[in-house]
Amino acid sequence: MRRVLQLLMLLVAVLMLRVPVHAADDFLPPEQAFRFSAKQLDGQTVEVKFAIADGYYMYRERLAVAADSATVTFAPLELPAGKIKHDENFNKEVETYRHELVFHVKAQDASAPFTLVVTSQGCADQGLCYPPMKSRFQVEPASVSSAPTAPGAAVVSGAESSSDDKLGRIASTLGSGNLGAIALLFFGFGLLLTFTPCVLPMLPIISAIVVGEHATRMRAAVVSVAYVLGMATVYTALGVAAGLAGQGLQAALQNPWVLGAFALLIALLSLSMFGLYELQLPASWHHRLTQASNKLSGGQIAGAAVMGALSALIVSPCVTAPLAGALAYIAQTGNAATGGTALFALSMGMGVPLILVGVGAGNLLPRSGHWLTVTKAIFGFILLAVALYIVQPVLPAWAAMVAWGALLIGAAVFLRTFDSLPDSANNVQRLGKVVGVVLALAGAAQLVGVAAGGRDPLQPLAGVLRASTGASTQAEAHGLTFKRVKSTDELDAEVRNASASGRAVMLDFYADWCVSCKEMERLTFTDARVRTALADVVLLQADVTANSADDQALLKRFGLFGPPGTIFFDTQGREVQARVVGFERADTFLASLRRALGASGAAQTAKTST
């Protein structure tokens, strides 16, 4: 086991050395750049204070107060004089505050407790302009307090901390510091990821490892646990490193060479399932194993642990809300212990189904004979499918379809689909014939589809259907047509143009290697309701496949660690508190869309009324 840990630590160390650590150059989150506090002076007066970090400033004209009660009004704000600055963001002279801002808010007609809402906005000298931030404070008109507000009484919310924002809720849980609650919550999140692209590709891998070793129930359990621990260790370590570095490692690990190398490794593993070579220990180790009866071999455990570590790096490229929340928390606070606990619990939750499948494969599958040979061959084809799944994001669409067609037809040939069944064939053989026919037809559909111009393996005959109906537009094929932006400057220009025409903006982060991005494209953006809701919205897309400096700058600007992510801007060009991180199905995405467009409409109404 010591060798396993040493190997994993070496792997993590090498990868971490390749990460450009630049957290010191990151912008502060808004609640740290502009620290809000308040205290009640008397029954109607609240003193508001903003502690402004060095290198940051706040706009005088962006300060506003409101109450959650329609009966409460406020006297005109008496703000201190600020410093005049020519602001490049607005191209005009503006009044700004630095270091500290203190002012009083006087409520009128307040006979019951209410929540004071202070809206503010600021920027950094280095060029980043934050979205408006809402800070809340509970006011008790019947009581008079001259003491400073207790910690936690003042609540700050911004574009990423709205009560409707999953990331905000996750960050709030992490901020509680209750490690038990954090571990339990993220373990549950891991279980919920079972049937997602984060976990499903790993199920055949662990099954094949167990089947290839002819494992007993006990050995299958230990090998499965080793696989999961290898996955969890690297997943956690790299997650913490990515959070501290201020960016994700997705793009670095999802390039064609890395994907191709791991797919080749999986393909070689599949060859052992067809009996081309034996996946077993060296003879000397095997002799010791025999002498020690049921004693487990460290070599097998080490192999499973290393495969689990590699799977965490390559096969599980998901950015989900729990993962993004944990990474954002680590990046903002530097608290690697709490964030690492959350990531380890998340990965262990993801590992539970892997352990169950591994133990099941060791317990339920035959030990020897013809059925073991057949079972291993089936797993061989499944592993080949996993290898193809891994490299598919970086393959041309036509090549992926040809590969899937060849694999499916090859599986049909293995099942002797094209051989005649003898009269004495049993029901299992007949069922195999049916499965083989289905596989052959599916493979033929891939080949016919690619010849007809189809480019989607899940809809191989779409090209045939479009040819017969005369429909061949990109919108019908992909649902939405985006305009690509390649830098923050291009994004700002497009948002300004949209704002000038009174239109909201949706910015989608995409990468060719991102499986969840493909799901959004295929399952969400093709939905007729989504297309209708976005009919008057400017659609922009940032393709971060290359992970260039401009790509990293775009991700960093919005605090994203990788795609998919969807950012909304209102008609005034400000980010709306309804961002989407990770894959969302059409119904869920529509709810996020309604919040975003509703907020945009409210902002436009407020602008018109003033």
**Percentage of residues of the chain with pLDDT beyond 70:** 63
The mean-pLDDT minimum among 85-89, 157-161, 272-276, 388-392 falls in 157-161
**Are 585 and 490 contained in the same domain?**
yes
Domain of 128?
Answer: 30-158
Decide if 431 is inside a domain. Answer: yes
Decide if 215 is inside a domain. Answer: yes
The last residue of one of the domains, among 343, 361, 394, is 394
**Are 101 and 188 contained in the same domain?**
no
- Mean pLDDT for 292-307 is 58
The last residue of one of the domains, among 365, 394, 423, is 394
pLDDT for the residue 577: 76
**Are 132 and 227 contained in the same domain?**
no
pLDDT tens digits for range 454-465:
777 877 887 666
pLDDT tens digits for range 535-563:
999 999 999 887 788 888 898 888 776 78
pLDDT for the residue 340: 77
**Are 96 and 67 contained in the same domain?**
yes
The mean-pLDDT minimum among 99-103, 161-165, 527-531 falls in 161-165
Q: Do 176 and 591 touch, CB atoms closer than 8 A?
A: no
Please tell me the total count of domains within the chain.
4
Neighbouring C-beta atoms of residue 546, cutoff 10 Å: 13
Decide if 167 is inside a domain. Answer: no
With bands split at pLDDT 50, 70 and 90, how would you rate the model's confidence at 603? very low
pLDDT tens digits for range 315-326:
554 545 556 556
Angle at 530 between CA 524 and CA 536, to 5 degrees: 135
Pairing, β 538-543 against β 483-484? parallel
**Are 243 and 185 contained in the same domain?**
yes
pLDDT tens digits for range 221-245:
888 888 888 888 877 776 676 555 5
With bands split at pLDDT 50, 70 and 90, how would you rate the model's confidence at 477? very low
With bands split at pLDDT 50, 70 and 90, how would you rate the model's confidence at 96? very high
Decide if 326 is inside a domain. Answer: yes
Decide if 22 is inside a domain. Answer: no
The mean-pLDDT minimum among 100-114, 294-308, 416-430, 589-603 falls in 294-308
Instruction: Report the alpha-carbon distance of residue 62 to residue 59 in Å, rounded.
Output: 5
CATH number of the domain that residue 153 is part of: 2.60.40.1250
Backbone angles phi, psi at 510, to 5 degrees: -140, 150
Instruction: Report the alpha-carbon distance of residue 282 to residue 507 in Å, rounded.
Output: 54
Beta bridge partners of 108: 73
**Are 439 and 587 contained in the same domain?**
no
pLDDT tens digits for range 346-372:
888 888 877 887 777 655 554 445 655
Decide if 164 is inside a domain. Answer: no
Decide if 166 is inside a domain. Answer: no
* Residue 488: exposure state from Cβ atoms within 10 A (0-12, 13-18, ≥19): middle
Residue 294 has pLDDT above 70, yes or no: no
pLDDT for the residue 373: 67
**Are 221 and 338 contained in the same domain?**
yes
**Percentage of residues of the chain with pLDDT beyond 90:** 15
**Are 287 and 414 contained in the same domain?**
no
Instruction: Report the alpha-carbon distance of residue 455 to residue 522 in Å, rounded.
Output: 12
**Are 410 and 386 contained in the same domain?**
no
Residue 573 has pLDDT above 70, yes or no: yes
pLDDT for the residue 97: 94
**Are 387 and 416 contained in the same domain?**
no
Backbone angles phi, psi at 134, to 5 degrees: -105, 125
Instruction: Report the alpha-carbon distance of residue 168 to residue 160 in Å, rounded.
Output: 6
**Are 228 and 295 contained in the same domain?**
yes
- Mean pLDDT for 242-271 is 64
pLDDT tens digits for range 9-58:
444 444 443 333 333 345 678 888 899 999 888 878 899 999 998 888 99
Residue 163 has pLDDT above 50, yes or no: no
- Strands (E) in 402-466, as ranges, are none
**Are 139 and 37 contained in the same domain?**
yes
**pTM assigned to the model:** 0.46
Decide if 71 is inside a domain. Answer: yes
The last residue of one of the domains, among 351, 371, 394, is 394
The order of strands in the sheet holding 505-510 is: 483-484, 538-543, 505-510, 565-569, 580-581
